[in-house]
Amino acid sequence: MNYYNEIKTQILNNEITKKVKDYSKNKSDLATYYNVGKLLSKAGKHYGEGIIKEYSEKLTKELNKKYSVTTLKYMRLFYEFGKSQPVADQLTWSHYIELLPLKNKEKINYYVDIVIKNNLSKRELRERIKNKEYERLDENTKLRLINEEKLEVQDTIKNPIIISNKYNYEVVSEKVLQKLILEDIPPFLKELGNSFCFISNEYKIKIGSNYNYIDLLLYNYEFNCFVVIELKVTELKKEHIGQIEVYINYIDKNLRKPMQDKTIGIILCKKDNKFIMEYCSDERIKIREYELL
């Protein structure tokens, strides 16, 4: 078999398809690069790794368009990835260029899923990868994703949560931390996961004759529940647990409707304390660290 001629034919046919049927450009690209990757894989087994460089030079010269060694290697990687699972044609080739170097199949599948769900551009995807979003998921969450199990509201909350310190504060109080979050609320909500909506900051509640203020009150429309967030610039302390538990119970008693799920609470702290959490039996309370960048 003449692998080079077949590769050249695949590429030329793709160029013709893209000119004639604009709507099918992306699907044609992905199918072509998968087939080219398959041929490159077979050619490499017959002629060795150096054949990619040879094909790169010939294609660039004969088609008057650059096909670098790196590009052809990406096509081969794309084929290897696509052998074990269907290729998502909602993603563009540019998306896959960002994903293929990750190599880990579970990690790639996570990002494929969030690109589809959130309609992410290539630039937005690159930013999520750069911020190590997958690595900051809980190990139990990763296992649920692999097993395709239903996720709970807390599963997609990253740890640590990245907060932009755009003013380069050296000393950060709870008020300053809240200010940084509020001035850049969309990225903060994305750090928590999907479907979070902002309701209010310093949400006032009355307990007995005293007023208290919840740092952040959110709502998750996918899981149909309120979310109470308390900000702490210290290590987690036992009194933080008692405080947020009172706030959660207040929201459940006074705001939550019968058709809504129970409120959850997130304590965002500088450092977790696993020993305290050993003795916290309230599963509604979740602890996450934050990191300023």
Domains (range + CATH), the chain: 3-130 (no CATH), 139-292 (3.40.1350.10)
Q: Band of the pLDDT at 20, cuts 50, 70, 90?
A: low
Residue 16 confidence (pLDDT): 74
pLDDT class of 216 with cuts at 50, 70, 90: very high
Mean pLDDT, range 90-98, rounded to an integer:
95
Place of tokens 């740092």: 215
Q: Per residue in 140-165, is it b (16+ CB within 10 Å) or e — as a string?
A: ebbebbeeeeeeebbbbbbbbbbbee
Selection from 2-16, 76-90, 260-274 with the highest mean pLDDT: 260-274
The token pair that represents 21 in the structure block:
């049927």
Q: How far is CA 265 from the centre of its chain?
A: 22
Nearest-CA neighbor of 282 among 250, 249, 254? Answer: 249
Q: Can you give the pLDDT at residue 62?
A: 94
Radius of gyration of the chain (CA): 25
Q: Classify strands 196-207 and 161-163 as parallel, antiparallel or unpaired.
A: unpaired
Q: Shortest CA distance to 196 belongs to which of 162, 176, 224, 235?
A: 224
Q: To 5 degrees, how large is the angle CA 145–CA 149–CA 155?
A: 60
Q: What's the pLDDT score for residue 19?
A: 65
Look at residue 245 in the predicted model and tell me its pLDDT: 97
Does the reported pTM lie above 0.95? no
- Residue 86 confidence (pLDDT): 86
Asked if residues 269 and 290 have their Cβ atoms less than 8 Å apart, the reply is yes
- State the amino acid at position 236 in one-letter form: L
Does 23 score more than 80 pLDDT?
A: no
Residue with tokens 């790639």: 108
